[in-house]
Structure formats: structure tokens, C-alpha cells
Amino acid sequence: MSEVTTIARPYAKAAFDFAVEHKALDKWLGMLLFAAEVAKNDTMQSLFQGSLAARELGDLFVRICGDELDEKGQNLMRVMAENGRLSVLPAVLAEFVALKSELDKQLDAEVTSASPLSDADMAKIQASLEKRYGRTVKLNCTVDPALMAGLVIKAGDEIIDASVRSKLNRLAEALQS
């Protein structure tokens, strides 16, 4: 996965810098979102692995995307096709979104709890994370009864595991040593 991220990062950074310079972040986000969805298609994935010449593949990809890409977006897709990188478009999109979130001072946090959280609980978690990270936090909440109780928060590269399941696993490991 890190190899894909390493490949995707320069394309995302170039698109992001261009979008910021031309005040077109939302437009570029939309173009990359559409192109990433096209790239995920099984037929496209097989074309990426096939023997189609890079120039033909780039032109085909641009034709499929149609009016969803402006001239600069088309150029990016052609460059990526020339370099055999169209298959990493979903990772380019993810990197672009991360750069946009950084610019917006926004952090997405995945919160997994054993039972549904009340609005008050979500507000407390959000306030605590905003204080900790110094930016606006958007919570994406899911429920996993396997946690037994407590919650797991994934914010950026950090994981805060305050679940009973995790505590029991650590206790079991300590007893076995």
C-alpha cells in the first residue's frame, strides 16, 4: 500500500498545487473523484494491465471521462497513462483529499464504538479531538459490538484504542508471559 501512496503522492500534489493556484479545489476534487471511479471499473483495470499503447489508453480514458474533465484534467490523465499510473487514481484522490483537509484544517476521525453514541457523546469526542489536534474534526461513527464496550478512534496516523476487547487482549498477553 505504501508503494501505491508513494507513486500517487506526486500526482496528487501537482494537481493540488495547480488547483490552489487557480482557485479550483472543488472542481479538481470532482474531476479526480470521477476519474478514480472510472479507474476502479473492472474493465478499465483489465485495460490497464493489457497491451494497449499508453497514448491510446490515455485517449480512451479521457474519452470515457468525457466532459467531467477539463483540458488540464485531461492532460493529467494522459501524463498518468504515459507513465502507466492510471490504476493509482483512487490513491491520487485519497492524497488530494488529505491535502485539501490539511489546507482546510480539517481532520477526519473514524470512531468505532460498541454501541451507538449519543449526540452528547459525539460532541464531547469531537471537542476533545479538536483541542488535541488544533483543527476542525469530522467524525465518521460506526458500531462494532465485538468491542464489548468503549471505542476506537482513528484520527490521521494515530489510533486511540479504549475498547474493552483490547484491554482484555492485553491482559491475556500479560498473563501468558
How many angstroms separate the Cα of 79 from the Cα of each of 3, 15, 58? 19, 12, 8
For the chain, residues classed under CATH 3.40.30 are 105-176
- The pLDDT assigned to 105 comes to 80
| Block residue for cell numbers 470515457 | 64
* Per-residue model confidence as pLDDT tens digits over 17-50: 999 999 999 999 999 999 999 999 988 888 888 7
Give the end-to-end CA distance of the chain in Å, rounded to a whole number. Answer: 33
Instruction: List the one residue out of 71, 69, 77, 4 whose CA is nearest residue 34.
Output: 69
- The pLDDT assigned to 47 comes to 84
Task: Report d(CA 117, CA 113) in Å as an integer.
Answer: 7
- The pLDDT assigned to 76 comes to 93
- CATH no. of 105-176: 3.40.30
- The pLDDT assigned to 78 comes to 92
- The pLDDT assigned to 95 comes to 93
The answer to whether residues 117 and 141 touch, using CB atoms and an 8 Å cutoff, is yes
What residue ranges of the chain have pLDDT lower than 70? 1
- The pLDDT assigned to 53 comes to 86
For the chain, residues classed under CATH 1.10.520.20 are 2-101
Burial (Cβ within 10 Å: 0-12, 13-18, ≥19) of residue 31: buried
The answer to whether residues 104 and 44 touch, using CB atoms and an 8 Å cutoff, is no
- The pLDDT assigned to 146 comes to 83
Q: Give the 3-state secondary structure of residue 130.
A: helix
* Global model pTM greater than 0.75: no
Cell of 39: 479507474
> What class has domain 2-101?
mainly alpha
Strand boundaries in the chain, DSSP class E: 106-113, 136-143, 150-155, 158-163
